[in-house]
Structure 1
Amino acid sequence: MENSTLAGFGNRLVAQIIDSLILGFVISVLILPIFGISLFNSSSFADAEDEAAVAVLVGTLVVPLLLAGLLGPILYEAFMVSSSKQATIGKILMKIKVVDEQGQRLTFGAALGRALIKYVTSNVCILLWLWPLFNDKEQALHDIVVKDYVIK
């Protein structure tokens, strides 16, 4: 880690925007067919008179949306950061990667913990994303907890 240059807030932000666009597109492509099938099978919640129709609609629409929307970004981040690339697609394009304190690749467990903390903090308090601007090691909360760095 000593000979590496920290990635900087701007590089990290652009990488996150790229990843968000990619994930949004992929989730949309996966969910749209499910949404279309659900609408075809059941006209709407208001028209569904029996509980079974509502259950089918919820099961085919809401559950996949929740799973894709919640688990997708977390698993994507964890698998990519713990891979040999040590980076998500956005980070790869920005030429940055995530390393532990010794400059090594994160384990899947560490990457999963990092992704969970990152997901929760970015959805609960977006101001925590500004944390790297106020510390000399340019670490966000998820970096501090897992003890990792984002480097060029």
Structure 2
Amino acid sequence: MSFGDPNNPYGQQPPQGRPGYPQQAPQGVPPQYGYPQQPPQGGAPQYGYPQQAPPYGAYPPPGMPAPGMPGSGMPPLAHWGLRVGATLLDALIIAGPMYALIGVGAAVATDETGEALAGILSLIGMLYALGMGIFQLYKEGTTGQTIGKKIVGTSVHREHDGATLGFGMAFVRRLAHFLDGAACYIGYLWPLWDEKKQTFADKVCSTVVIKVNKNG
């Protein structure tokens, strides 16, 4: 005579996986029906998994929007006024001290001693402008921001993955601004109506300028 379940006379617990009992996926076995499934590591988001935009600077998975586009979760693109403000500030930072020194030199050049001092001041001013220009390119390439961009809250990045440009590409982009001024400076106005707010130089170098936190 047995007690309880006649098919289970010894009181053993039924094996995992039968209907009516909680199921747990065995170690090392891929999740199957009934087990909680996690999205694959490193794979593109699939239906049923929550999709999160990567942090800016990380390569977006296939199917994710481009930087600055609606739904991308990335900072918005910088408008034309911010870009002009950053450019003017950078020009003032680079050229302002140089012209100030040249002006002082011209004022004191009343005799041979003054002319010699004027030459020295002009040389110092030009060396400063050259050094500051190189420093600005270095900062833009490594951080995305010149001093002017940091003040107004903009940053330049590669369009396809959001990474910084590097010094070499920052230099190439600076040379490519020649295209913006070649056709009556229309390239500098192009961000006013362009979907990605790009100048001709941005399109050639595949870069975008975004808005960022000024305190970041």
- TM-score, normalized by length of structure 1? 0.68
Aligned residue pairs total 136
Task: Give the deviation of 1:103 after TM superposition.
Answer: 0.9
In structure 2, the partner of 1:13 is: 84
Distance 1:91 1:13, change over 3 A: same
Task: Give the deviation of 1:12 after TM superposition.
Answer: 0.6
SS at match of 1:93: helix
Q: Is the 8 A contact 1:38 1:60 kept in 2?
A: no
Alignment partners' CA distance in 2, 1:148 and 1:75: 20
Which protein is bigger by CA-based radius of gyration?
2
In structure 1, the partner of 2:154 is: 96
Structure with bigger RCO (C-alpha 8 Å, 6+ apart): 1
Alignment partners' CA distance in 2, 1:122 and 1:68: 26
Unaligned runs of 5+ in 1: 45-55
Alignment partners' CA distance in 2, 1:79 and 1:40: 40
1:78 and 2:137 aligned: yes
**Identity of counterpart residues, as a percentage?**
29
In structure 1, the partner of 2:18 is: none
Q: 1:126-137 counterparts in 2 under 5 A?
A: 126-137=185-196
Distance 1:95 1:113, change over 3 A: same
Q: Is the 8 A contact 1:9 1:132 kept in 2?
A: yes
In structure 2, the partner of 1:53 is: none
Alignment partners' CA distance in 1, 2:109 and 2:179: 32
Q: Is the 8 A contact 1:131 1:141 kept in 2?
A: yes
Task: Give the deviation of 1:26 after TM superposition.
Answer: 2.3
1:147 and 2:212 aligned: no
- Structure with the higher helix share, 1 or 2: 1
Q: 1:104-143 counterparts in 2 under 5 A?
A: 104-118=163-177, 120-121=178-179, 124=182, 125-143=184-202
Q: Is the 8 A contact 1:78 1:114 kept in 2?
A: no
SS at match of 2:97: helix
Task: Give the deviation of 1:94 after TM superposition.
Answer: 0.8
Distance 1:72 1:121, change over 3 A: farther
Unaligned runs of 5+ in 2: 1-66, 212-216
Alignment partners' CA distance in 1, 2:76 and 2:153: 12
- TM-score, normalized by length of structure 2? 0.50
Task: Give the deviation of 1:5 after TM superposition.
Answer: 0.7
Residue by residue, what CA displacement relative to the aligned partner does 1:92-122 show, whole Å, maximum 9, x if unpaired?
A: 111110111211111111000011122x246
1:27 and 2:85 aligned: no
Task: Give the deviation of 1:131 after TM superposition.
Answer: 1.1
Distance 1:93 1:36, change over 3 A: same
RMSD between aligned residues: 3.3
Distance 1:73 1:134, change over 3 A: farther
Distance 1:25 1:74, change over 3 A: closer
